[in-house]
Structure 1
Amino acid sequence: MSWAWLTQLSWPALRHQAGRQLLALLSITLGVALAFAVHLLNSSALNEFSKAAASLNGAPDLVLRGTQGPLSESSYAAVAKLPGLSLVAPVLEGQAQAVGADGKRFNLRVIGLDVLQSGPLGPELMPSELKSISSLLDPATVFLNPAAIARLGGKAERLSLRAAQGTGAAHSQDFAVGPAIAATGSALAVLDISGAQLLLGRLGELDRIDLRLEAGQNVSTWLANNALPQGLTAAPPPDEGARLSAMTRAYRVNLGVLSLMALFTGSFLVFAVMSLSVAQRQPQLALLGVLGMTAKERAALIMAEGLALGLLGSAAGLLLGYALASVGQQVLGAGLGFAVGKAGGKGFGLALSAAQIGAAAIFGVIGVLISLAACALPAWSVRRMPVALVLRGLGNELEPAPPSWLGPGLLLAGLVLAFVPPLPAWPDVPLAAYAAMFLLLLGGIACVPALLRLTLGLLSVLPKAMSGSALLALVRERARDQAGEASRSLAGVLVALSLSVAMLVMVGSFRDSLTQWLDQMLPADFYVRSSLRMQAGQGAALPPDYAPALCASGLAKTVTGQRSSSVWLDEHAEAIDLMAREFKVDQLPLVRPLVGPLAGPIVEPLAGASTALPVYINEHLRDQLQLRPGQSLTLRLTPGGARQEAYVRGVWRDYARQSGALMLQLSDYQRWSGDMQLTELYIWLKPGLASAEAGPQLKALQPNNPDDLEFAAVGELKAMSLSIFERSFAVTHWLQAVALGIGLFGIAASQSAQVLARRREFGLLRHLGLTRADVLRLLAIEAALLSGVGALAGLGLGLALSGVLVWVVNPQSFHWSMDMSLPWPRLLALLGAVFLAGLSASMLAAWRATGDAVVQAVKEDW
């Protein structure tokens, strides 16, 4: 039979069952749309970040940095004399503040350049319109990018910048504003390097030296033939886009998997719709077989319908996904939760690149393949259909029941896979855990018939008068005979409900753990820090006279300090965050076990290591370096500085970072480093002083430039943290709601279709003496039984999936452990909604299908 014949036969079938097919089509459309929209937002944000980083870093062949921290200008002079160099560009970077058009301060990045050398390396850092070359060399002229100009409310002629100078002091300086530069990203100011050194209080210092070799020079050959001045290291320019991609890979993969949840749920709806369609069309399909259509052609007819659904749904999904991404860029933010805004800005646009068009094709193919896979089993059942028996009303059970061991076997395999560690190539992508969740879902679906039969056994415990009634007997017999059909109708809602339960438990557990963590990490009443930032975005040191003034004011009962900085480990190439603070060990959010005695606020070192500092590492650093409590490590204040032996005293939960960090006692840090500066203060207010009253009084202790300090009550910080948490999971909630909506539509459609398909059965029951109320009661019992089994199965399976998410996926992906907590009110509300949706849909369809005209349906068999 030709393809044209298959098309002519499949399109009428699609039109005849347009209502159910429309739901299947909608499920594929939404699944493809959500997956493609999330991919578009993530890839566009990463591309924009890469472009912004490239425009700031330029295109040097080599970057020189100091092993002991900043470089000296004498190093620059020595490097400039080396042969084979066409450009030698010194660079100094930092952070400053300006007053925006709204009267509030905002931070902007400051880059100091030798414009004659750096111009060819970073053309986007140079103004396109320039009246004279002298303005480029003027240390009192600053050049702003579009983001900074927008914060100032448009073109400005003068600008005052204020920056920290590393000693707790700050310096303000006025600049003339030159022509704009084209660099994208966050607010940026470019100026001559001498002006940047004066503003940042770093006279004679450089952060790096960018080199471009002469034409024909090879980097490795040049390095082999030239000796760099002592204290310098050479490396290719960092790929910031690749670094951010690696840093956010786990977040993007998890979000991508979650976005496919709707498509995965929709595949079961397509399967249920096509299975029901095939079951209702058995006589017609059998008649086609008698008229000459082969078994292979009948299967191809069903697959053609699935192909049509997949093509239409994927095409519509790609268009809808682009529209959703465009809206999501403005409403949800470009980064969907991970921090690309530092370089990417907003409003980056969604121009489709070749890679994104290729991704669109991949998502379209996925949608088509899922639709075809959902139709495979119904097509196979049609192929093996005994046409002669079906025409006589026999052999209607086309799809064989799965073996009884399949469900438990899949559940066991999923449980085993959950304990498989991630692959070394992708340490933060738990592929085995995703496979485990997939097997658990399939196992749960395969167990539905057994659960249904087990539930029927419970009916025998009812009083004899009830258990022996005709209605319950009919329910029992139909449930035994149609257990496979019930499994198909429940598949979509079971997947959606279990995934929704799992996400609800995971998010609730995370929120409860975060709340407890905030209580432990923010024990004081009030917090103070500098509003100024240093080069790497770290907080500047507090004015040295503020803490003594606070202690003498009588506003505080207790004041403790913290020094936030960076530290280098011999085992790790990049700097990691360091927090030196005063704390009690038993109040930290520690992951047991501890090592060494608890001797008070200052922990004694291990025996035999009297000079080793006890440090506490976060879970990310533990997993990254495979460190365990009791192991030793070496700290350095600068990359090539003096070594300080330390040992891991314990591991603490750190929900503020997705990178390595360590903590130690402030007194230990001060003895080691000699650095007595503080970057934050923890304030316990005196009894009777409310936070609302304390803020202005604490600010008044800094009469000169009070805006250099930021004050926050503990309640404000916790509310802000939870608000960030809710925004981060906003996309998760929407994706979860869409998948659950598809599942609810699926159970409503399948239940309604099954009721409408049983009109002859209802007519026969009416002829046998049952009233319409009896038939409605029968259907109510069946619907309640089916919906109840689905809700309970979804709850149990969802709790199993939540265990994988909480105890496997999150620790492997984000290196965050948490305590599981069950939000029973929300869970019960979710189960109740699913139960009522199934029951209501069945009863609404039953009311339409059991009217007086139903008795006429029996004549169709005469």
Structure 2
Amino acid sequence: MTSPARLGATSARWLIIGEWRAHPARAMVAVLAIAIGVALGLAVHLVNTAALDSFARAISTVSGSADLRVHSVTPAGFDEAFYPRLARIPGIAALSPVVELAATSGQIARPGQRQGAGQANGTRLTLLGIDALQALKVTPALLGMPLGGAGAGAGFDPDSIFVSRAVLSLLGKKPGDVIDLAAAGHSRRFVIAGVLAAADDGQRLAVIDIADAQWRFGQLGRLQRLDLKLADGADRDAVIRRIAALLPPGVELGSADHEGARADALSRAYRVNLGMLALVALLTGGFLVYSAQSLSVARRRPQFALLRVLGLPARGLVSQVVVEGLIVGLAGAALGLLLGHGLADLAINRFGGDLGGGYFSGARSRLAWSPLAMAGFGSLGLAVAVIGSLVPALSAARAQPAAALKGTGETIDPRSRPQPLPALVLLALGGLAALLPPVFELPLFGYAAMALLLAGGVALMPALAQLLLAPLARRALRPVAADLAVRRLWGAPSQASVALCGIVASTSLMVAMAVMVASFRTSVDNWLVAALPSDVYLHLEGTDAGGIDRAAQARLASVSGVANISFVRNMPLRLHAERPSVQLSAQTLVNGQPDLPLLSSAPVPLGTVRVWISEPMGWLYGLSPGMRFQLPLGARNVPVVVAGVWRDYARQFGSVVIGRDDYARLTGDSSASEAAITLAPRAQVQPVIAALKAALPPGLAGQALFGQPAEMRAMALTIFDRSFAVTYALEGIAILIGLMGVAATFSAQTLARVRELAMLRHIGVTRRQLLAMLAFEGAGLGLVGAIAGLGLGLVMAQVLIHVVNPQSFHWTMDTSLPFEMLGLLVVALVAAAAGTAALAGRRALSGDMLRSVRDDW
């Protein structure tokens, strides 16, 4: 007699191979669904890791072997008299002063404008002024390698400059060529003496002598940072305490670790959200595995029953179905790992290391193998496939062998009503999770809420299907095919829910993402309309440390055709050592208010310095209208009061606006880096722009960008679409997986009902009526699934809009529904479901129908 173990092994090989040989398409869809989820998750992880590694290498180049760094919180720098005071602190072996400026080379190009070979348009870089002798002790990576016949003393030549290989490539230059740089409101010409051999690929860096940097770019008596090397055996904590006691206002103490934390914070929310979206595809794949396995189990119920009668225990049957899922998971995970590396390589070459998000512009990432990540995402794929197979396996094991030997299909009494309570509990838990705060500034509970809502929505399908179909099932419908279809769906809710599972999962996720992106884009567009009320805008690149002076401002204001011009001074401001900089903006106030889209405000006592903060700054620093905080301005920390909060989609990490008069009084800086221009009646835009450009100082004219609101809006939305390119791709893949799941589900379900269809054919239902019945069933299931998925997706979209996005990116938005896209999605699902069911029906009805029911005679 055959042992149960041997019987189980033999039956497993026989049933698995036979099932996949008979229905290869269904198995391939399940494998592909898992593969796509694993591939997307791994690709996003690899690209993000490569980008952060590239950024870390860039930090290492700039920091060299410096142990600590004293840095100005603004590009204006600090008094160089602090340098000798710091050098006298015990425990410091060497100290390297640095002038650090944002610079540009050549004529500035508009964002998105393509450059030809050898053109210098739009090349932005970091310009460092160093003391070569001191840098040799602290940051030797910043020392240039003379090339092209330059002597060893080229580094001390006031006209010499060393640049990274990335700058040479972007500018189409070689050693010995001339390069024009603009920084801090000044433009100067240099000769390329050599390269920075230690600079990372893609790092845009240029180095000149520190005295030359101070003299030529208006930084006399100013430094932006000091790099420190500690003495051997020095007590690091004691040195840090001594330095902190001497730090003047507007100066902070940091290290390479702080810069790394700043880089991580820069893109962390974007990276986590992309990773979550990638895992959503894997979750959808799990639902498709569940759907495919459930239908496969239903079709083979008599075979399983026969094995039970022959002695195979229930646990053996469970193991067999789970092994099928495990094989699907293994194949999907293996394929996904290969696809993931290919996608990562393509993404880095096409979108860059920031995946279109703009966080690591100019950095060139290097893709590396990551065995730990591969093992992790491969295991996720296996786990999803096994879990998706476990529920159908348990269902097969619970079936009564005697009853199952006589038929397939629904094993639940159609008179029983599905219980919605577990689904309602899951939905309630999802709602509660959406109310919880972020964890480590990430919306982890928000994503948990989405997962719970998705699980609850899918679990509710049997009850919802009966509820929606009950009014139709209580009356006779015409034609007869429609009546048969409705009664079949209403009487077999559990089997219908299997088909609906994949539809609802993929549809709801598609709808949620589509509504979120559409809402964000519409909110950004409306914000741009409110934020750009003037006729023309002027922006100057490379003016963080200095811009248009008062004399030049007066010349611009007197240009013919200019009715009013409002100047703005923008610069980055560090408020926290491990957070990205906020933007400080000094603007002209009108009736005591900035021209901003304010969301809230509060009265401010007279005699206090008022500021207006953006939404992200309020989130990140816990500020609200009426609160006070210290703002580092000039050489002191100034107490200010928050007068209002405004909506800002341009700066994710915060911005603060102060009146220009207050800023000039507190800092002595009356320069400007931007301007908003209102034209006089009947003035022509292009002639006025030409006159304004001519009125700029010669050193700044080449760095000027002029824009009109319409073209600036179009440019901003183009950048928005580019940033969300990966999101659009993930959404498209979700749609593809969903439609594939619909096709596989209905095909498998129809083929599993051959005997049922044969019986109907035997009692007189025509072939044409059966095909129409199947088409109506498919359309009905597609419509129910689309309606349920649409409703669930709209709820999940609110979680994305009002929980995930504010907790991730610290801004709010208004809901906007893409009605056209949602309508097309519903029509496509219904059409795909009806068409697939009809095509599968043609195949099922093409054989000998009489033979299918002979066992029931």
TM-score, normalisation: structure 1: 0.90
Q: What's the CA shift for 1:455?
A: 2.2
Q: Distance in 2 between matches of 1:457 and 1:98?
A: 71
1:448 correspondence with 2:461: yes
**1:224-253 CA distances to partner (integer Å, 9 max, x unpaired)?**
789986748654445322211123211111
Q: Is the 8 A contact 2:299 2:753 kept in 1?
A: no
SS in 2 for 1:677: coil
Q: Does 1:243 align with 2:243?
A: no
Map of 1:181-260 to 2, 5 A cutoff? 181-184=197-200, 185-222=202-239, 231=248, 234-260=253-279
Displacement after TM superposition at 1:321 (Å): 0.4
Identify unmatched segments of 5+ residues in structure 1.
597-605
Distance in 1 between residues matched to 2:431 and 2:779, nearest whole Å: 31
The 1:496–1:298 alpha-carbon spacing in structure 2 relative to 1, beyond 3 Å, is same
The range that moved more, 287-296 or 484-493, is 287-296
Aligned AA for 2:502?
A: G
Deviation of 1:642 (Å): 5.1
Structure 2 counterpart SS, 1:620? helix
1:16 aligns to 2:33 (yes or no): no
Contact 2:598-2:645 within 8 A present in 1 as well: yes
2:311 is aligned with 1:297: no
| 1:594-743 matched pairs, under 5 angstroms | 594-596=601-603, 606=604, 609-638=605-634, 641=636, 643=638, 645-702=639-696, 704-705=698-699, 706-743=701-738
Structure 1 equivalent of residue 544 of structure 2: 534
Counterpart of 2:558?
A: 552
CA 560–793 in structure 1, closer or farther in 2 if over 3 Å, else same: same
Matched, 1:35 2:69: no
Comparing 398-407 with 844-853, which one deviates more in the overlay?
398-407
CA shift in 2, pair 1:574/1:817, >3 Å: closer
Check the 8 A contact 1:98/1:159 in 2, yes or no. Answer: no
Post-superposition shift, 1:685? Answer: 1.9
Tell me the alpha carbon deviations over residues 752-774 of structure 1, each in whole angstroms, 9 at most, x when there is no partner. 12122222222222221221222
The superposition leaves residues 727-776 of structure 1 with CA deviations (integer Å, 9 ceiling, x where unpaired) of: 11111111111112111111111111212222222222222122122212
Taking a change above 3 Å as real, the CA distance of residues 84 and 698 of structure 1, as seen in their structure-2 partners, is: closer
| 1:458 matches 2:477 | no
Change (3 A) 1:220 1:583: closer
How has the CA–CA distance of structure 1 residues 330 and 143 changed in structure 2, closer, same or farther, with 3 Å as cutoff?
same
- 1:4 positional shift: 5.7
| Counterparts of 2:799 and 2:73, CA distance in 1 | 44
Worse overlay, 627-636 or 24-33:
627-636
The residue number in structure 2 matching 1:475 is 485
> Are the counterparts in 1 of residues 611 and 658 from structure 2 also a CA contact under 8 Å?
yes
| Letter aligned with residue 416 of structure 1 | L
Q: Secondary structure at the match of 2:702?
A: helix
| 1:366 paired residue among 380, 383, 387 | 380
The separation in 1 between residues aligned to 2:580 and 2:18, in whole angstroms, is 64
321-330 vs 207-216, which deviates more?
A: 207-216
Change in CA separation of 1:804 and 1:570 when aligned onto 2, cut-off 3 Å: closer
Query: Does the Cα contact within 8 Å between 1:589 and 1:653 map onto a contact in 2?
Result: yes
Matched, 1:590 2:598: yes
1:397–1:852 CA distance, 2 compared to 1 (3 A):
closer
Alpha-carbon distance, 1:490 to partner = 1.3
Give the C-alpha shift of residue 45 in structure 1.
Answer: 0.5
Match of 2:371 among 353, 357, 377: 357
The aligned counterpart of 2:448 is 435
In structure 2, C-alpha distance between the alignment counterparts of 1:803 and 1:859, rounded to whole Å: 54
Deviation at 1:679, TM superposition (A): 1.8
Q: Which amino acid in structure 1 is aligned with residue 599 of structure 2?
A: V
Q: Is the Cα–Cα contact under 8 Å of residues 269 and 746 in structure 1 kept in the other structure?
A: yes
Residue 63 (structure 1) aligns with: 69
Report the equivalent of 1:140.
159
- Count how many residue pairs are aligned between Structure 1 and Structure 2: 830
- Extract unaligned runs of 5+ from structure 2: 108-117
**C-alpha separation between the residues in 2 aligned to 1:246 and 1:810?**
16
Q: Deviations over 1:74-121 (max 9, x none)?
A: 443454455544332222211333339215352321112222332343
- Residues 1:744 and 1:687: Cα distance change in structure 2 (over 3 Å): same
Task: Find the aligned partners of 2:496 and 2:780 in 1 and give their Cα distance.
Answer: 10
Give 1:363 shift.
Answer: 0.2
Amino acid of the structure 2 residue aligned with 1:523: P
Secondary structure in structure 2 of the residue aligned to 1:119: helix
Aligned residue for 1:172? Answer: 188
Q: Distance in 1 between matches of 2:462 and 2:451?
A: 19
* Aligned 8 A contact 1:629 1:650 in 2: yes
Match of 1:89 in 2: 96
What are the equivalent positions in structure 2 for 1:756-795 lying under 5 Å apart? 756-795=751-790
Name 1:522's counterpart in structure 2: 532
Change (3 A) 1:422 1:461: same
Q: Distance in 2 between matches of 1:210 and 1:159?
A: 30
1:624 partner letter = L
* Alignment-mate amino acid for residue 199 of structure 1: R
Which amino acid is the alignment partner of residue 489 of structure 2?
Answer: A
Counterpart of 2:287 in structure 1 is 268
Is contact 2:805-2:811 (8 Å) kept? yes
Aligned residues of 1:57 and 1:122 also touching (Cα < 8 A): yes
Q: Which moved more, 1:818-827 or 1:9-18?
A: 9-18
Check conservation: 1:145, 1:187, Cα contact below 8 A. yes
2:388 counterpart of 1:345: no
Identity within the alignment, %: 37
Bigger Cα displacement from structure 2, 723-732 vs 201-210? 201-210
The worse-fitting range, judged by mean Cα deviation, of 708-717 and 251-260 is 708-717
SS at match of 1:178: strand
Query: Corresponding residue for 1:600?
Result: none
2:112 paired residue number: none
Could you say if the C-alpha distance between residues 371 and 493 of structure 1 is closer, same or farther in structure 2, counting changes exceeding 3 Å?
same
Match of 2:170 in 1: 151
Tell me by how many angstroms 1:151 deviates.
Answer: 1.9
Secondary structure of residue in 2 paired with 1:684:
strand
Q: 1:421 aligns with which of 410, 429, 437?
A: 437
Does structure 1 conserve the Cα–Cα contact (< 8 Å) formed by 2:747 and 2:836? yes
- State the Cα deviation string for residues 774-816 of structure 1 (Å, max 9, x = none): 2122222222211111111111111101111111111111111
- Matched with 1:98 is 105
What one-letter code is carried by the residue in structure 1 that aligns with 2:728?
A: H
Contact 1:139 1:193 in 2 (8 A): no
* Counterpart amino acid of residue 240 in structure 1: E
AA of the residue aligned to 1:189: A
* C-alpha contact (below 8 Å) 1:562/1:678 kept by paired residues: yes
- How far residue 641 of structure 1 moved from its aligned partner, in angstroms, is 0.5
1:522 Cα deviation after fit: 0.9
Residues 566, 324 of structure 1: alpha-carbon distance in 2 compared, 3 angstrom cutoff? closer
1:603 aligned partner: none
Structure 1 position 560, deviation (Å): 1.7
CA RMSD of aligned residues (A): 2.9
More moved, 239-248 vs 154-163:
154-163
Q: What's the secondary structure of 1:345's corresponding residue?
A: coil
